[in-house]
Homo-oligomer: A and B are copies of this chain.
Amino acid sequence: MRIAIDAMGGDHAPRAHVDSALAAAAEWPDTQLILVGNPEKIQPLLGSDAPGNISIEPASEVIESDDEPVKAVRRKADSSMVVAGRMVKEGRADAMISSGNTGALMATGLLVVGRMAGIERPGLAAMFPTLDNRGLLALDMGANMDAKPEQLLQYALMGSIYRSKVHGIAKPRIGLLNVGTEAAKGNELTKAAFDLFEQAPINFVGNVEARDVLEGVCDVIVCDGFSGNILLKALEGAASSIFKLLREELTSSLKAKLAAAVLKPSFRRVRDRMDYNEYNGAPLLGIKGLVVKGHGSSDAKAMKTAIRQTRTAIGNRLIASLADEFSGK
């Protein structure tokens, strides 16, 4: 299998991408890693004795994090992200991964790779850590701000297929993000979606409140892109604030510092279990090809996780399964 990696996207580009490609190439000799970007920046990091299953695809431009997404994708036709998308479109790669500008990656999916037949609006997924360590696929995280009930149902179906194909869950439990667990709760969108979900061929477990999302009550949580973005960023913000306060308090006296030093491994384990990078590699679902988003702050370890997820998705024919589900609709 062949995976195109946007080597210029994200906070630690291109170093993290080269390092993760080297590690992945060694672990999975059957996988061709194609680093897309400026060869002058990639080659020196790669060294002269790179393994045969790593190659470079030249791209002269870079989409920056503050570029306006659609404009950037249209104008920077030779950017690493767009070139990677084109490789998927033309069948020269089985998937692409990028940690760059999220909006631009969604635009690349739609405008370069193309929407999957039968899908109204693609959705951006994210994996959340959960207390039971199973993780949770949440979508949409911001591709579709004003979603319709039917679009939420497509997210539920796509999320179910993803969890089953990529994570091997037999009957993924689907939850609907809502303000209460009772059936009648919510806004117009979630009330209509609730009715659709009940009729659909999914394992619908009902409404799920934001406070229970991390508890492991479902395998997929579905929401519109606006709410999903609020959810994701609120969870991240709360974690960041708490760790900031802890750091402040635990360095406020010598006694606290000494005790905190003993607990360093414990704190690290808590941080790791709440770390979104541990589940790196979220798909843009509803695109004709496999487009995977890495966290912007991905390091080499996180990128290797994204590559592993992508390999599994390719190996289990995720895109073909999704296309089968939606082709007749």
Contact = CB atoms under 8 A, between A and B. Distances in A.
A237 B235 contact: yes
Contacts of A209: 233, 237
A30 B299 CA distance: 62
B259 A237 contact: no
A230 B233 contact: no
B226 A186 contact: yes
Given A210-B230, A259-B263, A188 B146 contact: yes
Interface of A: 131, 142, 145-146, 177, 179, 186-188, 190, 209-215, 223-227, 229-242, 244-246, 249-250, 252, 255-256, 258-260, 262-263, 266-267, 269-270, 273-274
A241 B226 contact: no
A48 to B, nearest CB: 43
Tallying the copies of this chain within the complex gives: 2
A242 B245 contact: no
B266 A250 contact: yes
Nearest to A263: B259
Contact of A256 (B236, B249, B263): B263
Contacts of A252: 266
Given A179-B145, A237-B214, A239-B238, A131 B260 contact: no
Given A146-B188, A235-B237, 13 more contacts: A131-B241, A145-B187, A190-B226, A210-B229, A214-B241, A230-B230, A230-B231, A230-B234, A231-B234, A234-B238, A235-B238, A238-B238, A256-B262
Contact of A241 (B232, B237, B255, B274): B274
Nearest to A240: B211
Nearest to A130: B241
Contacts of A274: 241-242, 245
Contacts of A224: 187
